[in-house]
Amino acid sequence: MKKFLLGLTLIGAMFTSCSDDDSNGPKKPVEGEITGVITTNQTFAYGNYTLKGIVKIASGATVTFEKGSTITANKQTGDNALVVLNGGKLIINGTAAEPVVFTEASKIPGSWGGIIMYGDAPIKAINAATTATSEDGNNQSYGGGNAAHNGGSLKYVRVEYAGAKLADGTKENNAFTFYSVGTGTTLDHLVAYKGADDGFEFFGGTVSASNLISFGNYDDAFDWQDGWQGQNNTNWYAYQEVKGNFGMEIEASGNNNTFFPKVTNVTLKRVAGTVPEVAGAIEIDAFQFKKEGNGDFNNVIIDGYGNYTEGAKTYEGAAIKIQDAPTNTDQVNNSRIKITNAKISNTTKEVLGASDAIVVGFPNGTFTKSATATGASLETGNWATVGGASLIK
């Protein structure tokens, strides 16, 4: 292990110096491989890197990527992911013009595990448990009492073709997966592009995120559980095409929480002809609330959640679906689900219970519509462009 760490440190020093060799011209990208467990501070200069294996940033270590870098995994080498363990930090200093891109060689959705971060911010898992074990194959404990947990700063980052199952875990790896991450962490201008699971998923925690794009992910654009309670979220944009489930899948692991997350400026778009990820799983709604899920959403655009026909049966898409009676009774009726200033188009139903027995009636002021809603407002640039095409449509 000592020999490996020494080699990694020497390689890092070489990366840092090589990028500045030509002071009279543009920086030349360096090349290198990233693998193993990183236990000391490491800076990866602008370059093209190969990510091999499940790379882990250990507690006490900070890993930094400079703007413009590309990090490529290859599913032919086995399981790959970038994991930030609790106590470790990941700093990604991308810009709109020079984002940091994590991708996979085959460009096939579901080819690697994406970025996974663990913290010790509060959670409420099943049966109100304050800790839980991750289902991602890493078997990490998450949850705790540190609401201000700091896992680093991710700015202008794009993760492509993620969503692979790791080891013996269930398929709980997304482009970005945040386990009990805290308010000390910065998440800003992030793109989840064509993954085989969710674009972004939060397992409890208190972190907030701004300027998110979930584009072409097979499962849900945004998903959370375990009592996630981020309060300062803004500018979330989902574009679902070809294959995709809910725009947002929202649950609270069966706990009747009085708290809830807040998101302003939301756009959820579903292209005509988009089908659910798996046949028989009719998950075609913009917002789905279940297992006591809740939230406060303002200035919302919902477009394209229409009917879906499978075999001889046609299913109605909805802007808001309430999946079970406890969620309706505890969350809708107690004004813990709020969707205000919503502009809804090309969508079959505004509000729908999953069965005839679930009759949804929002209290006054908790579901309101507006013809002038604008939804997410995002800057353009290379951070939101793939193959010359803008992801903001």
Location of structure tokens 């998950």: 283
The pLDDT profile of the chain, 393 residues, written as one tens digit per residue, is 443 343 343 344 334 434 444 456 678 999 999 999 999 999 999 999 999 999 999 999 999 999 999 999 999 999 999 999 999 999 999 999 999 999 999 999 999 999 999 999 999 999 999 999 998 999 999 999 999 999 999 999 999 999 998 987 777 899 999 999 999 999 999 999 999 999 999 999 999 999 999 999 999 999 999 999 999 999 999 999 999 999 999 999 999 999 999 999 999 999 999 999 988 888 999 999 999 999 999 999 999 999 999 999 999 999 999 999 999 999 999 999 999 999 999 999 999 999 999 999 999 999 999 999 999 999 999 999 999 999 999
* Torsion-angle region of 188 (φ positive above 0: left; ψ -120 to 50: alpha; else: beta): beta
Query: Contact 373/300 with Cβ under 8 angstroms?
Result: yes
Largest CA distance in the chain: 72
Q: How far is residue 234 from each of residues 45, 265, 354, measured CA to CA in Å?
A: 30, 6, 28
Query: Contact 86/65 with Cβ under 8 angstroms?
Result: no
The verdict on pTM exceeding 0.85 is: yes
CA angle 278, 279, 280 (to 5 degrees): 110
How far apart CA 18 and CA 27 sit, in angstroms, is 9
Of 286, 283, 282, 271, nearest to 339 by C-alpha is 286
Radius of gyration over every alpha carbon of the chain, rounded to an integer in angstroms: 21
